[in-house]
Structure formats: C-alpha cells, structure tokens
C-alpha cells in the first residue's frame, strides 16, 4: 500500500489547478496525515449517479483532476462500447448548472472528450438538468454529462452521466465506467478554452431548447385559452429554472402578472443565500415564496430545485396557510390527470413508481385496469424499466418518486421539474373547470381509492460503517434472525434487497434487482408498508412509512405509530443516529 506521502506527491504531480494543488501542499507541509488520508486514500466513488461530493482537493472529492479522470475513463468506455455495440455518431452532450465550478468542470470534461476524438454537443450556457438527457435522445448521442449536485449544499458538486438511451446509467455501465476510470494514470488536456475553438464542437442550446419546448407543448396539448389563466408564484430556488419556466408559462398563457417570481431567489446564485438547504422539500425552504404569494394574492406556489429536475407545489387553503403537497400527493395528482386525459388504449397504459413511493398509484391501477410497475429507487431504474415496458408494447406515460421527482417519457426519460410544472398548470386549469382546486381534487381521489398517509423522515448516520451495522443488527435482532414483528404488528412480508430475500415469493427471491452494496429492507404489516434504506449519496438512513385507511386521521395515526416503533426498536440512540430536524 502506498504511503500517504507518496499519494500526496502523486497528486502534486498530476494536479495543474493551483488552488487545489496548494491545498494538498499545505496539508503536506503541516504533516496533517489524518486529513491527507481522508482526501487521498480512497477515490471518489463512481456509481449509478456518477460522481457527487464536496469540492476539495484530493482523489476523494470533486475537483478539476477527478473530473478529468472521470471524463477520460468515460471516454475510453464509450470508445470500447462503440467497437463492441456499433454505437452511432460518437458525440457527448455536456451541460452545467450555476454551482461553483460547474462551468469549469464542464469545460474540462469537454476538453477530455475532444482530446479522445469524440464530438461534443455543447450548450455553452446554464441549463436545467433534464435538457441534457433530452439532447442525448434528440441528437442520438453516445452519452451525456451534466455537472450539477442538484439540491445538495453549496459546497458540493457532481458529475451526472446519461447513456445513449437518454437514461441515467445502471449496472453494468456504472461499474465498468468506474473500472475504466481506475485505469487512468494521466490527463490529456487542462485547456478550458478548447471547447470554444475546436471543430468537433456543436453549440446546441438554441436548437435543443426550441425542440424541448415543442415536446413540452405536445405533452400538454391542447393548450388552454388565455381566459383560463390564474396567478401563481414561482421560485427556482436560486437555480437555473427561471428561463425555461418563463417560456412554459408564456406558452400556457400565464403571462405578465399571472406569473409572479420570488425576486430574492429568481436569479442563479451558487451561495443559496436565502435557504439553509436548497431543496423545496426541506422545512422552511418555501418561506419566501409563501410571503410573496400572500403579498400578491396568488393561491398557488410552484417551485423547482436548483437544477430544476424536481418540482414542488403548495396551495393556499385559508388565509395565511399554504398546504405544501408531498411528492406522493403530487404523484397521484399527476397520475389522475394523465389517466383522465389519456386518449390511447388504456390496456396498454402503464405508470411507474419507485418502491419507496406511495402504493396509492398501485391501488388506482388495480381499480382502473391499467398496468402499474414498481422499481428500485431512482430514476435510473424508472427510466430504464419504462423503456423495457415500451419495447414490450406498453405506453409508459408517467412515473414518479416520492422525493418530488416526476417523469413524462414523451419529453425525457428522467425526472423533469419544468415539464412537471407545465403539466401541473394544465391540470390545475382542468380541475378548475370541474369546480375543484388541486387540494380538493386530491381529497376526491382519497375518497375513491382510499386514504394513504405517510410518515417519511430520515436519520443522520455517523458513518457508512454505522449504517451497515444498524442494518446487520436488525437482520439478527430476533434470536439471531430477522424480526417477526414490529411493536404490536406482525410482519406479514419481509423483503431484503441487500441479501436477496423476499418472504412473499415462491422461491424467496426478490423480483426487483438485488444490490449487496446498498442497504434496503421493506416490510408489510397489514395496512402499513415501510421501507428503510441507506442513502447512496448522503450520510442518511431514510424511512418511508405509508398507511392506508378509511379516513385520513386513521392512516396518519397508524403511520406515526410505526415510525415510533422503528425508532424504539430498530434505530435506537445507541448508534449515534440523529433524527432529521433535531439538534
């Protein structure tokens, strides 16, 4: 094993970015072995989400050198696949958001692709993340790269990879690309201006954005009339969503005073100065939007996260109070709109949700006789499984995940906060003609399909090792084997996608893919279903609990009871776990 001094010297030999080079040199001068170990010993992991980490010097973080190495490994893999699978025009779409260093990282990635002989489809300005997979499909590119960390804190950045099918990468691409990155021992180009002058660069923003808006227009066709427009308040959360949102609003006749912006959050700002965590789901994140909506008198608030691939909404129920819809609630609202407006053969219609999302869509599908399909968490699975279903003759019209992600495949095979906003505005106008607000529509759906209430939360884990210990202890907590009950409720089904066991199947093998590197257990307890899993991108253990009842209060009570049982029996204080929202 190499000494830490050898690793530091190797970094200094490779790094041509003065800022990060000096960081390692200073740590070396101070003989800060612990910090050098943290930064240099382990390479930043390349997985199904690509790369994501804080921006610091070192092989373990996001910086110019790790971006160059990842880009060269990806390029090598694309060239290898082209020889094997005869991929078409070898071009790579490259986009970036407004985070610190996003443009620089994107330029370095483009320089590497060009140096390897690939063509680069270059936006050359800030874009929202879904425009990258859209362009991959539109231009039949070999791959796409988006430099973004979505709604992570301001010190983070990421490198998101899409394959030639316009979906996020799944196994084996992720591990094969990671292996290719591991073989990279040098870098090809540090020239951030190469993308401005190279003949193999095509600038695509104007053309791609026009086509994207055209696909969104087709998604919501026929368009409403100007008389149907109502005022709403919008925040892009200091991100890149405003440009596209304005075009969507204009197309749908929400022009002029009908769309009110939260001015303090309207323009891109990588510091995210008005929010502690730039995610519309987080408590308090919509505080300024609510203030603006109260001031201008709009009943509806729409929000995107900073890279505009997620969507959230809130509705004023009484003066001074806005109900923020959960991702599950929005998912079922979208699904009902898609179903009711669907013009094709409903026996071919399929909608999807990840396994941690509400079972209400499954209940709707059973009652309305269309196909429902669940998948593993993440739009990498929702997108790829939807394409599999399309090849089988189904029409995948919609997919969602509870973390405010919504996919409309005729636009893009990934979550898209702008397309979701367009559909929500269209549905809102339609519900208005039916004499209902979005919240009232949701209540009518509960009455028809049952009340589904969740008690989702997460715990901060001290380390990945702690997370693994917690789950391993759970698996042997009942006399050395898995528990048979939680609190007073018997566990009727136990599915463990880490070790590959499902008590409900004939051979006890899960239908969904197994991943030994990811902790994930699902249990059914009568009217309550829950999934607990370790996050792949954050130091969290996520708890998804949903109860179904004849009344909202009954379902909420059951979900909260199960949450309490989990905290008492499985996720106890002895592990050093900290519940979200606590000190």
What are the catalytic residues?
150
| Concatenated DSSP letters of 462-506 | S-HHHHHHHHHHHHTTBTTB--SEETTEE--EEEETTTTEETTST
Report residue 210 as tokens: 């026009």
- Integer-rounded Cα Rg, in Å, for the chain is 24
72: number of Cβ within 10 Å: 24
The percent of the chain in helix, strand and coil, each rounded to the nearest 5, is 40, 20, 40
- Give the Å distances, CA to CA, from 397 to 63, 335, 382, 410, 421: 38, 9, 12, 7, 16
Best CA proximity match to 557, nearest among 566, 547, 543: 547
Burial 461-499 (b: 16+ CB within 10 A, else e): beeeebbeebbeebbeeeeeebbeebeebebeebbbbbe
Strands 259-261 and 371-375: unpaired
- The helix (H) or strand (E) run that includes residue 160 is strand 156-163
Cα separation of the two ends of the chain = 40
> What is the SS3 assignment for 42?
coil
| Concatenated DSSP letters of 524-583 | EETTEEEEEEE-SSSSEEEEEEEEEESSHHHHHHHHHHHHHHHHHHTS-GGGT-EETT--
User: Cβ distance 35 to 26 under 8 Å?
Assistant: no
């Amino acid at each position: 094993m190499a000494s830490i001094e050898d690793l530091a010297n190797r970094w200094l030999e490779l790094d041509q970015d003065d800022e990060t080079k000096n960081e390692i040199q200073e740590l070396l001068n101070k003989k800060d072995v612990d910090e050098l170990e943290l930064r240099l010993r382990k390479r930043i992991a390349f997985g199904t989400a690509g790369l994501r980490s804080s921006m610091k010097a070192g092989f373990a973080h996001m910086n110019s050198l790790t971006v160059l190495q990842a880009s060269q490994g990806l390029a090598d893999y694309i060239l290898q696949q082209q020889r094997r699978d005869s991929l078409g025009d070898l071009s790579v779409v490259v986009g970036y958001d407004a985070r610190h260093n996003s443009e620089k990282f994107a330029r370095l990635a483009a320089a590497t692709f060009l140096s390897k002989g690939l063509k680069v489809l270059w936006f050359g300005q800030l874009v929202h993340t879904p425009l990258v997979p859209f362009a991959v499909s539109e231009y039949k590119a070999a791959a796409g790269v988006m430099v973004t960390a979505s709604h992570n804190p301001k010190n983070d950045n990421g490198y998101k990879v899409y394959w030639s099918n316009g979906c996020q990468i799944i196994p084996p691409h992720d591990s094969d690309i990671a292996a290719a990155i591991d073989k990279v021992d040098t870098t090809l180009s540090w020239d951030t201006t190469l993308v401005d002058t190279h003949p193999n660069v095509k600038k695509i923003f104007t053309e791609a954005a026009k086509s994207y808006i055209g696909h969104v227009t087709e998604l919501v066709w026929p368009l409403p009339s100007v008389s149907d427009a109502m005022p709403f308040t919008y925040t892009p959360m200091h991100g890149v969503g405003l440009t596209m949102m304005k075009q969507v609003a204009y197309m749908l006749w929400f022009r002029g005073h009908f769309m009110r912006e939260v001015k303090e959050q309207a323009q891109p700002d990588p510091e995210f100065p008005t929010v502690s965590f730039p995610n519309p789901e987080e408590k308090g994140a919509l505080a300024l939007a609510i203030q603006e909506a109260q001031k201008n008198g709009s009943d509806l608030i729409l929000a995107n996260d900073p890279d505009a691939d997620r969507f959230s909404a809130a509705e004023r129920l009484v003066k001074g109070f806005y109900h923020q819809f959960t991702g599950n609630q929005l998912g079922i609202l979208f699904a009902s709109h898609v179903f009711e407006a669907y013009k094709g053969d409903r026996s071919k219609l399929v909608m999807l949700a990840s396994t941690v999302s509400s079972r209400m869509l499954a209940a709707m599908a059973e009652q309305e006789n269309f196909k429902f399909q669940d998948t593993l968490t993440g739009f990498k699975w929702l997108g790829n499984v939807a394409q599999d279903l399309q090849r089988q003759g189904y029409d995948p019209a919609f997919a969602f995940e509870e973390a405010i992600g919504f996919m409309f495949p005729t636009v893009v095979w990934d979550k898209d906060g702008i397309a979701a906003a367009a559909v929500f505005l269209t549905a809102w106008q339609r519900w208005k003609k039916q004499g209902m607000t979005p919240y009232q529509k949701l209540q009518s759906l509960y009455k028809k399909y049952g009340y589904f209430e969740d008690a989702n939360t997460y715990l901060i884990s001290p380390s990945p090792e702690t997370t693994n210990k917690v789950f391993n202890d759970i698996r042997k907590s009942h006399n050395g084997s898995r528990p048979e009950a939680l609190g007073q409720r018997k566990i009727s089904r136990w599915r463990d996608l880490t070790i590959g066991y499902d008590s409900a199947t004939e051979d006890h093998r899960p239908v969904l893919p197994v991943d030994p590197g990811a902790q994930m257990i699902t249990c059914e307890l009568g009217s309550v279903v829950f999934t607990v899993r370790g996050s792949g991108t954050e130091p969290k253990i996520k708890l998804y609990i949903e109860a179904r009842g004849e009344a909202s209060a009954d379902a909420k009570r059951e979900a909260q009871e199960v949450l309490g049982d989990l905290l008492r029996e499985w996720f106890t204080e002895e592990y050093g776990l900290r519940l979200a929202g606590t000190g």
